[in-house]
Structures are given as C-alpha cells and as structure tokens.
Structure 1
Amino acid sequence: MNTLRHGDQSLAVQQLQQALNARGATLIVDGIYGDETEKAVRAYQLGVGLVVDGIAAPKTQLALAGGDCTPLLKNADLVSAAKRLGVELAALYAVNEVESAGRGFLGNGKPAILFERHVMHRQLGKARAAALTAQYPNLVNPRPGGYAGGVAEHQRLANARRIDDLAALESTSWGAFQIMGHHATALGYASVHEFVERMHRNESEHFEAFVRFIAADPQLHKALKARKWQDFAKRYNGPAYARNLYDVKLERAYQRHAACHCGQPA
C-alpha cells in the first residue's frame, strides 16, 4: 500500500474517498487529497483509535479494509504520553510521523529490527571482539554496516545470538522507534530479555520504550518540550540529522498538526 497524503491526486485517492464515504464521510470523489479529505481521514482515525495524523498510510488503509488494528499504535497512547511528558500533543504527532519507522512489525509478524555489528563489537569488549571480527565480520565489526534489512535482520540477529545472546540483543534496535537493546535496564526494564519480549507484543510497547527514552534524557526531553527541533534531532538522530533534514521535517510536521488541533479526546 502506498501512503497517501495532502496534495496527492490519483485513482488511489479516489478509492480512499469512496472508502471514507462508505463510513460516513460526505466527500466529493474527485481523486484530490485536499483539506476536506484530510479532515475526513483524521475523523476516521479518531473514531477507530488510530493516531490522528491525517495521513492515509498503510495502517489507516488496513483499518478501512477491515484489517486487524489490535497491534497498532493508538491515538490514546500519544494523548497519555503528552500529559506524562508535559509536551504538546502536536509535538508528539510530529515525532511519531518523522522518527518512527512506520509500521513497527514486519509482514511475518516479527518486530522491525536492525542489528548493529559495531555495537556488538563494543558490547563484547575489545579483546573478545578482536578475536571474533576476522571470523564473523558481518556480525562483529568496529565499523557500521552489513545490513540485510527487513526479515533478514532477524537471521543476522539469530546468528549473532549464537556468539553471545546478551550482547546480540543489546546490539539491536527494536520496533517503530528503533530503541537500542542496551538501553533496556536504564529505561526501567528488568532485563534486555524483558524488553525484547515486550517489543514483540505491539506498537504501544514500542512507543512506551520511546517515551521512557525521552524521559530518561533531560536534555532531549527539554528540547522536545521547547520544540527546539534542531537540538532534538541532533540528540535523537545523531550527526546525520542535518543531512537528512530531520529538524526541518519535524518543524513542518509540527506546524501542520498544531494548526489542526485534532486528536484530543472530547
């Protein structure tokens, strides 16, 4: 499914409008994703409990097609987190839109992950890592890389776990917000194994890990509360934030959500 958003014009938008009308909207079916279509998408999302972002991404299209939305992130999760962190709801909408990996689960039902061989190298310690790098360069390496993507990342992780189970789980980023396993205990989880088990449950657990990550970093939390997107992006995304325009994307997303005032409970 292709993501549809404001400004799109296509047959797919026309089909989206028809699906929304079948659920109570009164849109002109013209294939143009304008203001009224975005409002109808937000209203539908709010009604079924999905994140109210006005974007007809695969999650919203899945819901319209009658799919199971149980494992998906809920609008209530963001509303609750906004109160918990003391930040504007529109700011969390923006972060969810820009920083999440989209769907937190793969087609086979496993959580989205990325195994980081350079973190594995660090977690094993210099002496042990040095001995393993030559034998398993795709799994233990001081340099990032070797990514396979998608389902294949789970095979990389499985291979790494045969070397060292704990280090492998700690060297993997998990879920929609790609929180590293080595943060688990600092974020209040009993162990990385508990953290991983919860990452297998649903996207609400992925978002919970993200909220804990923000709360555990006073400077990151402060940047989000003040909507200092450059500072937030630098701390969350690292040095590459400017090259990927994360701060610009966050600001634009925030402005769009702030102007809407949507998603708040009645």
Structure 2
Amino acid sequence: MDKIQKSVGRGCINRSEDVKLIQQMLNSAICSIKLEENGKLNQNTIAAIDYFQRLYLGIKPDGRISPTGPTFTALELKYQKPYCETYSIALPASNNGSKLTAGDFDMAAKKLGCEEACIRAVTDVESKGGGFFPCGKPKILFEAHIFSKKTFHLFDKGYPDISSLKWNKALYVGGEAEYRRLEKAMTINRQAALESTSWGLFQIMGFNYSASGFSSVEDYIQAMFESEGKQLLAFVTYISRTGLVAYLKSKDWKSFARAYNGSKYAENKYDTKLEVAYKKYNIKK
C-alpha cells in the first residue's frame, strides 16, 4: 500500500497527500469515527492519532506519525486487515447486595479515626443513603466530560449525549436510565466508559479504582455490584490513600467537597449538604 513521505500530526510537515492517507487509515482502524478525508490536518485528526496510540499501542500519545515509526506500522496492519473490536457491555449480575449495618459504620469510623456521623453524611449526600437502584444494580452517574477527556474528545461531535468537552448537568438522565448512557459509551470504549462513571454508596469514580484498593476497574465494578459493605470498604481505602480523611476528622466540608466532588462542588452546594447531613446524624447520636 501507499506510504506517507513525511511525518503527520502535531508539529509535523503534514503534506496534504500524507494527511489524507492517515485520515483514511484512521477511519479504517477506529470504527466509531468518521474523519473528513480532505488532507487537511485538524484537531479531530490529531485526537484520532492520540486515541489510536493510547488504545492500540498502549503508549503515551504524542499525536505524531512518522513514516517508519510504530504508529504507522500498526495502522498499516489495521488498514490491510480491517477489524472493528466489539466491546462487551456485560456487567456483573444484579443482586441488590446486602445493606450496611450500624456495625459497618462503626467499623469504618474506627478505621478512619473520624465520627460515624461524618461517614453517614457522605452516604446521604452522595447516594441518599442507598447503594443500589430498585433493579438491583449499584447506583451510578455517567460523566460525559470525563469520557470525552479519556477518549481525547474524539467522540464529542458524533456522540454529544455521552461525550462532552465540558461538564454539562443537562446531560444527566438520572436513576437507572444512566445505565443506558453507560452502555452506549461501553460500545465505543469499555474501559473509558467504566472509568467515567461514579459508583455505589459513595459515588467514587471508576478511574479511582487503584486508590480504592483494586488492581483493575473491572475488579472495582465487581465489588460495587456485590454489596454495600464492599462499597464502604472501597470508600475507606480511597479516603485513607488520598488524604481526605483529614477533612472528615476536622469536618472541613468545603475542602472535602472540593477534593471529593471537584471544583464545581459549590454549584450543587455539596459542602452545605454535607454539613446539614452531619448535624442530623450527630444529633441522633
């Protein structure tokens, strides 16, 4: 087949003939996209190069393809023998896992060295005190802006409901329907989709699986489906490893909300909600 003569991509010479060939090859290699094959380098083409390098080569993307480099070699193989990887949307069985007991909260509070009321406050605010939907699946929220980031913004135009450059509250459908959005994203990139979703009682993002004590996002999801107890243990590990337990101990709700929910925490009044929930449980105790 034809070869590119000069490098294509970020900061390269980008001959029109070479760019067009790369666009054709990327369209063949990545089934969920359709680049304009016009020989003009644009951000979408660079994003597709980044995505291909991360997904198929497992390397840190640089957005560049040289005539003799590994990225072009891999693209040649995909172009000569097109194959669209089909991602599974299967998830663990729904079982509406066992609920937390007072003893579970007491155990977690002792491990973290904070008040039990603090942990109960987080469960109230993050999941209204329950880790599962009525259907038996763990509560989730799919974050389109995270999925967009993890897939180099490559699918923003074609899939605006699940891939967005910026956080957009209007994209949430809420409740069990969030699984439809998750499954749609999983057909494009399963791992990115799972990592772009918050799970269970404490709504810990999938990309935090390692900090939560798991070796893979798949192991993390399995635990989320098993029980609220597993969800609580993930929270204890995550809070311990990330240093957020200090904010719980001091009841510094603003700092906790900022670190736990991100810079947009104030828009949803997370800190205020946490403080109100804490006072409710502290009075009961």
TM-score normalized by structure 2? 0.60
Quick check: 1:186 aligned with 2:211?
yes
Aligned residue in 2 for 1:122: 149
CA distance in structure 1 between the partners assigned to 2:130 and 2:173 by the alignment: 18
Corresponding residue of 2:166: 143
Preserved contact between residue 101 and residue 177 of structure 1 (Cα < 8 Å): no
C-alpha offsets along residues 89-136 of structure 1, whole Å, 9 cap, x if unaligned? 232233333333432211211111111111111112x2xx32x22222
Query: Does 2:249 align with 1:214?
Result: no
Q: Does the alignment pair 1:247 with 2:271?
A: yes
**2:177 and 2:215 mapped to 1: Cα distance?**
28
Counterpart contact for 2:127–2:139, Cα < 8 Å: no
Count of matched residue positions in the alignment of Structure 1 and Structure 2: 189
**Could you tell me which residue of structure 1 aligns to residue 67 of structure 2?**
none
Give the Å deviation of 1:172. 0.8
User: What are the residue-to-residue correspondences of 1:52-201 with 2, within 5 Å?
Assistant: 71-124=98-151, 126=152, 129-130=153-154, 132-145=155-168, 146-201=171-226
Q: Which residue of 1 aligns with 2:60?
A: none
How far apart are 1:235 and its partner, in Å? 2.1
| Alignment match, 2:256 | 232
CA contact (8 A) 2:213 2:234 kept: no
Q: Aligned pair in 2 of structure 1 residues 186, 167: CA closer, same or farther (>3 Å)?
A: same
Rounded to whole Å, the distance in 2 between the matches of 1:105 and 1:259 is: 27
- 2:279 partner letter: Q
Identical-pair percentage: 42
CA distance in 1, matches of 2:232, 2:101: 10
Q: What CA RMSD, in Å, does the superposition of the two structures yield over aligned residues? A: 2.3
Report the secondary structure of 1:186's partner residue: coil
**2 CA distance for matches of 1:121 and 1:155?**
17
Aligned partner of 1:257 in structure 2 is: 281
> Counterparts of 2:209 and 2:219 in 1: how far apart (Å)?
8
Q: Where in structure 1 are there 5+ consecutive unaligned residues?
A: 1-67, 262-266
Counterpart contact for 1:187–1:209, Cα < 8 Å: yes
Partner of 1:54: none
* Residue 74 of structure 1, CA deviation: 1.8
Equivalent-residue separation in structure 2 for 1:185 and 1:201 (angstroms)? 18
Q: Name the SS for the 2:254 alignment partner.
A: helix
- Judging changes above 3 Å, is the alpha-carbon distance between structure 1 residues 160 and 180 closer, same or farther for their aligned structure 2 residues? same
In the alignment, structure 2 segments of 5+ residues that lack a partner are 1-94
Quick check: 134-143 or 252-261, which moved more? 252-261
1:43 corresponds in structure 2 to none
